[in-house]
Structure formats: structure tokens, C-alpha cells
Structure 1
Amino acid sequence: MFSLEMFLEPSADSQIRALWQELTTKSIVTLPEVWARPHITLAICSTLDGIDHKALGAVCEDMPQNIKISTYGQFLGAPGVLQLGLTPTRELMALHGAVHDVLDSTNSACDPLYVPDVWIPHCTISMGMKAEDLGTLRTTLQNLKPIAGRITEIAWVDNRAGRELSVASPF
């Protein structure tokens, strides 16, 4: 399984890591226990075979510069997943659409939750939240301020091996 992920500049990255740390001290399972870098996933594909990596690399060079994390929530039907929601700017949605234009033309093995008109731009905070954590989460998150930042990098992540790969030349 491979995910195409956007990574944040150090200030926004640090703010999310601080939130992870605060939640961990309250015994809430956070994402670093699964993956160690805050990110926004653009696509998840079962294989990278057949993808026009040069075209995808060119699309990703025109990544959005600024993002704003402005909400938090839980996905319905996905118990235990807590996320910080991004403001869906035209620039962000255009990049996402362009990424999927390339993927759709060469690879049909992508997760349907990440396709245009379905995708909810977000940064996952926890994948192990329990019902009894809700009170603690609400208390912790109710004073969270919006996080503004910049996207500095887009890369494929090989989720089985836990390593990042170049978008334009992953092999």
C-alpha cells in the first residue's frame, strides 16, 4: 500500500507534534505510534505500477503553498479516527484533482475515499481513539487554535516498509 502525502513546514509540523504529545500524556493513542510524520494524504494506491510518475511529479511541483487547519472531528463509520480538517481552498482542491487526473489515467487501484468529490482534506491525529476518550479529547481540543502552515514536500510513502519515495521517480 502506497500513500501520496503532503508534508508541512517545521512550525505547523511542530504544532501537530505538540498536540500528539499532549494527547499521548492523556493515554490517547496518536498517529506517531503508526507513522511518525504529520501529513495530509492525497491518494492511497495498492501499487505504483503503471503510474506516469513524470506527469505526477510535474503536477506535484505546483503544490499549494499555504494551508489552514481549521476544524477537528471524527469520521463517521470509522470509529477511533480523529482528524484535523483543512480549509478546502481552490488551490488545494485543484492540486488534488490534478493528482487524480494522472492516477485515473494510469491506475485504477486507488482507495475510493480519496478521489475527488469524496476526499475530505485532513491530517489524522489518532487511529485508536476509544469512546471513553471523547471527554478528554473535547477538553483538549476545544481551545485548539487554527494552524496555518505551508506544504513543503509531497512524497509517496511505502506504508509496508515505512519509507518515503520520490513522486517523480519512486523506484
Structure 2
Amino acid sequence: MAEALDFFLDDSSAGEIMGLRARLALAGVPVPASAPSVRFARGAAIPAKVRGKLAEDLRLLVLPELWLAVLGTILTAEPRLVLGAVVDTELLAAHSGVHDALAGRVREPSSRYLPGSWLPHCALTRELGAAAVPSALESLAEVRPIRAKVASIGITDTRTGQVTRLIR
């Protein structure tokens, strides 16, 4: 089991992401059922006993608006399409603040989400075979940048998809 710290998008930008996912689904591309979010951290576990203090610390962060403006792929064994965030100093500062708040509280943190390795994005598809990527990209020929605000923060059980809200 793994748990992730996800920053969920406001209704307007989430609706735009869901519209892109609907276009992909109409083209037969598998899309996530989860609410649109940007994952800031992941680890084997974020223990329940530290979540209250974690929520207090995260409330102190200044959360920047996100510009989701880069259509691309996450290149793993089974790639996925994503809408990447434009990385600026405010976003990197917020990400560092998240990891300062998580320090010593997450069991087995994932190196992919640590400062210096993190690629902020919102998933548009589930995992795809490499041969499916070109047609998925073609179904999204026109994508406009999305200005997104963070509406809530939660811990997602990556196995079940269940979200425990920390901040609404």
C-alpha cells in the first residue's frame, strides 16, 4: 500500500480537466476516475497519528495558483498523458514547504516526489501501452492552458483511491 499527498483543484479547473478526460474516453483511452489533483508527495504510509499536525503545518503554506500548460507524457514502462504545471519559484517554495512539513512523518518517501525530482502534473490518462500514446495525443490536438487553484488537500490511498481530506 502507498499513500500520497494530493492537492485537489477548484471546481472550474477540475471541470476543464474532466472535459479533456472525456475527450480521451470518447477516443477509447482509459482515464482516471479520481478527482483532478496534483500529487506533491508519496510514501509507503502517512500515519494517522501525525495527520492532525500535518494539516496544521500545511495550513500555514501559501498555495500558488497553478498553470497547467504542458501536455506531455510520464515515461514509465506504461506511459500516461499528463498536463504539466509551469514550474516557478512560488510552486517550488510550496513544494519544499510540503516536504518540510512531511519530514520524519512519512514512511519510505518516494524519491520521484522529493524536491529536485518532482514533476508537477495532473494525470489525464491511466497507464497506456506505448503504441496508444500517439492516438491519445491526437485526440487532444488542441489544449489550452488551465489556471488552477488548490481547493483542498488530502491523503489518497493509492490502492483503493480513497481520500482522507486534511484541508478543505
1:60 to 55, 58, 61: 58
Give the aligned CA root-mean-square deviation in angstroms.
2.1
* Residue identity matched to 1:87: V
Query: Where do 5+ consecutive residues of structure 1 fail to align?
Result: none
The 8 Å contact of residues 50 and 107 in structure 1, kept in 2 or not, is answered as no
2:96: which partner in 1? 97
Gaps of 5+ in 2: none
- Counterpart of 2:44 in structure 1 is 46
**2:37 is aligned with 1:2:** no
The answer as to 2:17 corresponding to 1:19 is no
Task: Give, as a single letter, the amino acid of the residue that structure 1 aligns with 2:115.
Answer: P
Q: Could you tell me which residue of structure 2 aligns to residue 107 of structure 1?
A: 106
- Counterparts of 1:5 and 1:136 in 2: how far apart (Å)? 28
CA distance in structure 1 between the aligned counterparts of 2:145 and 2:129, rounded to whole angstroms: 24
Q: How far has the Cα of 1:160 moved from its partner?
A: 3.3
Give the match's secondary structure for 1:46: strand
Which residue pairs with 2:81 in the alignment?
82
CA distance in 2: counterparts of 1:51 and 1:82, whole angstroms: 35
The alignment's TM-score, normalised by the length of structure 2, stands at 0.86
By how many angstroms is 1:155 displaced? 0.9
Distance 1:70 1:78, change over 3 A: farther
Q: 1:83 to 1:118 in 2, by over 3 A?
A: same
Contact 2:82–2:121, Cα closer than 8 Å, also in 1: yes
Q: CA deviation at 1:142?
A: 3.0
Q: Which stretches of structure 1, 4 residues or longer, exceed 4 Å deviation after superposition?
A: none
Residue of structure 1 in register with 2:70 after alignment: 71
Report deviation, 1:100: 1.0
Superposed counterparts of 1:96-135, under 5 Å:
96-135=95-134
Secondary structure of the residue aligned to 1:141 is coil
Tell me the secondary structure at the aligned position of residue 53 of structure 1: helix
Deviates more, 1:108-117 or 1:124-133: 124-133
Q: Are the counterparts in 2 of residues 38 and 123 from structure 1 also a CA contact under 8 Å?
A: yes
Q: Does residue 26 of structure 2 align to residue 28 of structure 1?
A: no
Alpha-carbon deviation of 1:134? 2.9
2:64–2:94 contact (8 Å) kept in structure 1 = no
**What percentage of residue pairs aligned between the two structures are identical?**
23
Pair 1:51–1:97, CA change in 2 (3 A): farther
SS at the partner of 1:43? strand
Q: Secondary structure at the match of 1:157?
A: strand
How far apart are residue 9 of structure 1 and its match?
0.8
Is the contact between residue 65 and residue 152 of structure 1 (CA under 8 Å) also seen in structure 2? no
Aligned length, in residue pairs: 165
Return the TM-score normalized by structure 1.
0.85
